[in-house]
A and B are shown apart, each in its own frame.
Chain A
Amino acid sequence: MLNNFCFWFAALVALGASVLAVSRRNAVHGLLWLVLSLLAVAVLFFMLGAPFAAALEVIVYAGAIMVLFLFAVMMLHLGPAAQRQEAQWLAPGVWIAPGLLALGLAADLIAIARLAGDAPAGAGIIPPEAVGAALFGPYVIGVELASVLLLAGVVAAYHLGQRRDRSLGEGAGSG
């Protein structure tokens, strides 16, 4: 019963927050809604017996990736129009709704943590150890590939991020 309630609540939060995330004009607002949506998705993962995926969803997705987004948006400092929107930032109408939803979600998380004792149907809870062991067993090629991917991503972002080459002008045209 409680399980059922948690699911519907998390699902509604995820959906509602996603609607807002894609519909907000202000990129920062959209981002914050997306964070909420991701937290709700993490709750769903948890209910599905995937605590490891749930934790990573929070730490990596809602944490690291969204912060990266936020930094980028700030570096884009969007001029006066954006600043006017910034002024609205402190209006209660803007933050009160996400605040309440986030609170509700937190309550939801607590309720689920209490539920964790009785395993749901299906596979039950897969502990992080099992996932970790599998990563370096059957899925080792995937892990190696992911590491190469991240390395390539670092090199790529480094190349694009560099400001200007000292002393080296780049030729015009595109030959």
Chain B
Amino acid sequence: MPVTNLQLFLPELLLTGLALAVLLLDLWLPRARRSVLPVLSVIGLLLVGLAAASLWDPQRGPVYDFWNSYVTDNFAIFLKVFFAAVGGLVVLLSTDFLRDVRAYGEYWSLLLFVLLGMVLLAGANDLITIYLAFELVSLVSYVLAGYRREDPKSNEAALKYFLYGASASGVMIYGMSLLYGLGGSTNLQVLGERLASGEVTPLGALALMLVLTGLGYKVAMAPFQAWCPDVYEGAPTPVTAFLSVGPKAAGFAVLIRFALSVFPSLLPQWQVVVAILATLTMFVGNLLAIRQQNLKRLLAYSSIAHAGYLLIGVVAAGSQAGWGLPAVLFYLVAYLLMNLGAFALLLLVARTRGTEEISGFSGLAQGAPFAAATMLILLLSLTGIPPTGGFVGKFYLFAAAIESGTWWWLALVGIINSAISLYYYMNIARLMYFGQPAPELVKRPAGLSVVVWVALIGTLGLGLVPEPLMALARQAGMLFVGR
């Protein structure tokens, strides 16, 4: 069906307009007045989020648009609102960093372009659209990782990210070309139907593996995680915060849509593969995180581990979409809040003490009790201890695994891994409360403070009253139930 309803496309249009407006304003505004750009970006992203939220309608099924290459369903809308939130928080995180490097407004427009790619990825329903949106996200991410162009570490991060990412996308496009050959179409639904009608061929399995490899790189799934720590350490901290949540969530969105609409016929095969990879990812992330002294690197490994937890939900979604999908969506939101909160505190501490090592947090509880307490709560949430959003999210993920029957053991692996992660998260807490000396956080830039407050309130809120968000996540996941 051709273009029927541009109203459903409103968030994307707004975001495109915003990105272009910011790009042009950066050219026109005198240098001194460019600080208006982040403000404009946050307001714009708020509008995008509202526009997306206004499309929410639990009763409506998926609406296919643009000749079926784009779909608006509750799953996509949920993610669009999520991405707008990611964008808003990352802009707030970045204002301070950009004042430091006295930088250039390209940052804002580049960030908005990545967000546009992510939003489009949420609704892409065609191999071509998926591929292009995916590449928009990837390409601009490489540049953001290398944004501090005079800093060798940042350059190196960009190059590593680029080489790994571009190879992965080469592998993925080859897999997609085979898929197209198998199904004779690039439309996901048509592909799903055609693949389901035939028997499972080696070519189909190969295509699945290739596409999975490409997506695996994006979400830093083991054994494709090698780039992750270096990139996360080298990239500017606000960008690292963004990379650990944004593109990763977008990768999961595609993974889920692919797995559930194209490969239902290969369900047993991909479930086994993803389950094994999930186990591997969790162990690699957690075990390697233990030895890290640099907090950015530690959070990189921890983000690998969290990708592993999310994969549990993806596996479970294969057998029990009603449980697995909402759990993944819920956990994404919880992870966004706790992770960005931790990064905001890292930025605050690094400002004062000039180091990104864990030792920078030493004795924080005496100098800045509120910041230390917030960090403690976020760390508890990352570990998965109540009463936090991280706990509830993990609970839903593990429950989904148990509910799916076959995959109950993934819950066990997840619990073991949470126990491992307790060690290195609590190591930071120990330093904060029992370490010396006691620094005071002299400056608290407004943007960072807002992020810290949002993270704190959000994490506790999700931990104490998870039901409203979970209800929304269930409605978003409804789409794939019954397949």
Which A residues have a C-beta under 8 Å from some C-beta of B? Answer: 137-142, 145-146, 148-149, 151-153, 155-156, 158-160, 162, 164-165, 168, 170-171, 173-175
Q: Determine if B69 and A142 form an interchain contact, defined as CB atoms under 8 angstroms apart.
A: yes
> Which of A145, A149, A170 lies in contact with B101, CB distance below 8 A?
A170
Chain B residue with Cβ nearest A144: B16
Does B236 lie within 8 Å of A142, measured CB to CB?
A: no
Of B45-53, B326-334, B349-357, B436-444, the stretch lying at the interface with chain A is B349-357
Contact with B120, one of A145, A153, A158, A175 (Cβ below 8 angstroms): A145
Cα A137 to Cα B70 with chains together (Å):
13
Q: Does B129 contact A (CB under 8 A)?
A: yes
Question: How far, in angstroms, from A153 to B135 measured CA to CA in the complex?
Answer: 11
- Whether the pair B128, A139 counts as a contact (CB closer than 8 A) is yes
Interface string of B212-248 (1 = CB under 8 A from A): 0000000000000000000000111100000000000
Of listed A141, A142, A173, residue having the most chain B CB within 10 A: A141
Q: Given that A159-B143, A160-B146 are contacting pairs, would A174 and B236 also be in contact in the complex, using a CB cutoff of 8 Å?
A: yes
B150 touches A149 (CB 8 A): no
The answer to whether B139 touches A170 (Cβ under 8 A) is: no
User: What does DSSP make chain A's interface, helix, strand, loop or mixed?
Assistant: helix
The one of A137, A139, A156, A164 in contact with B150, judged by C-beta atoms closer than 8 angstroms, is A164
Task: Assess whether A142 is in contact with B132, with CB atoms less than 8 Å apart.
Answer: yes
A162 to chain B, nearest CB (A): 7
Q: Give the contact stretch, choosing among B74-82, B105-113, B269-277, B278-286.
A: B105-113
With A159-B149, A160-B149 as contacts: A175 and B139 at CB distance below 8 Å: no
Give the number of residues in B that approach A within 8 Å (Cβ atoms): 49
A138 contacts across to B, CB distance below 8 A = 2, 66-67, 69
Q: Which of A140, A155, A158, A175 contacts B66 (CB 8 A)?
A: A140
Q: Which residues from A are CB-within-8-Å of B109?
A: 155
Cβ of A175: which chain B residues have Cβ within 8 Å of it? 97, 100, 236-237, 347, 350-351, 354, 356
A164 to B135, CA, bound (A): 28
- In order of increasing CB-CB distance, the 4 nearest A-B pairs are A138-B67, A156-B143, A152-B113, A145-B132
> Do the beta carbons of B154 and A174 come within 8 Å of each other?
yes
Which chain A residues lie closer than 8 Å to B113 at the CB level?
A: 148, 151-152, 155
Smallest CB gap from A158: residue in B: B106
A159's partner among B69, B70, B117, B147 (CB-CB below 8 A) is: B147
- Judge if B305 is at the interface, Cβ distance under 8 Å: no
B→A interface (CB under 8 Å): 2-3, 16, 23, 66-67, 69-70, 97, 100-102, 104, 106, 109-110, 113, 116-117, 120, 126, 128-129, 132-133, 135-136, 139-140, 142-143, 146-151, 153-154, 158, 234-237, 347, 350-351, 354, 356
Tell whether, in the assembled complex, residue A148 and residue B106 are in contact, meaning their CB atoms are under 8 Å apart: no
B129 touches A174 (CB 8 A): no
Enumerate chain B residues within 8 angstroms of A152, measured Cβ to Cβ. Answer: 110, 113, 136, 139-140
Q: List 15 A-B contacts (CB under 8 A).
A: A141-B69, A141-B129, A146-B132, A148-B117, A152-B139, A152-B140, A155-B106, A156-B110, A159-B104, A170-B148, A173-B354, A174-B148, A174-B356, A175-B237, A175-B347
Say whether B97 contacts A159, CB under 8 Å. no
Question: Knowing A148-B116, A159-B104, A173-B354 touch, does A153 contact B110 (C-beta < 8 A)?
Answer: no
Q: What CA separation (Å) do A36 and B279 show in the bound complex?
A: 45
Contacts of B147 in A (CB 8 A): 159
Say yes or no: A159 contacts B234, CB within 8 Å.
no
Complex CA gap A171/B101 in Å reads 6
Q: How far is the CA of A111 from the CA of B234 in the complex (A)?
A: 54
Min Cβ gap B401→A in Å is 36
User: Cβ of B136 and Cβ of A148 under 8 Å apart?
Assistant: yes
Of B97, B133, B347, B350, the residue contacting A145 (CB under 8 A) is B133
Find chain B residues with CB under 8 A from A168 CB. Answer: 102
**A149 to B110 Cα, complex, angstroms:** 11
Instruction: Contacts A148-B116, A152-B113 known; list 19 others, CB within 8 Å.
Output: A138-B69, A140-B3, A141-B69, A142-B69, A145-B136, A146-B132, A148-B136, A149-B132, A149-B139, A155-B23, A156-B142, A158-B106, A159-B106, A173-B350, A173-B354, A174-B237, A175-B97, A175-B347, A175-B350
What separation, in Å, do the CA atoms of A170 and B151 have in the docked complex? Answer: 9
What are the residues of chain A within 8 A of B235 when measuring CB–CB? Answer: 174
Give Cα A149 to B113, complex, Å.
8
Given contacts A170-B101, A175-B237, contact A160 B351 (CB under 8 A): no
Known A142-B128, A164-B150, A170-B151; judge A159-B110 contact (CB<8 A).
Answer: yes
Q: Which of A138, A142, A158, A160 has the most chain B CB atoms closer than 10 A to its own CB? A: A142
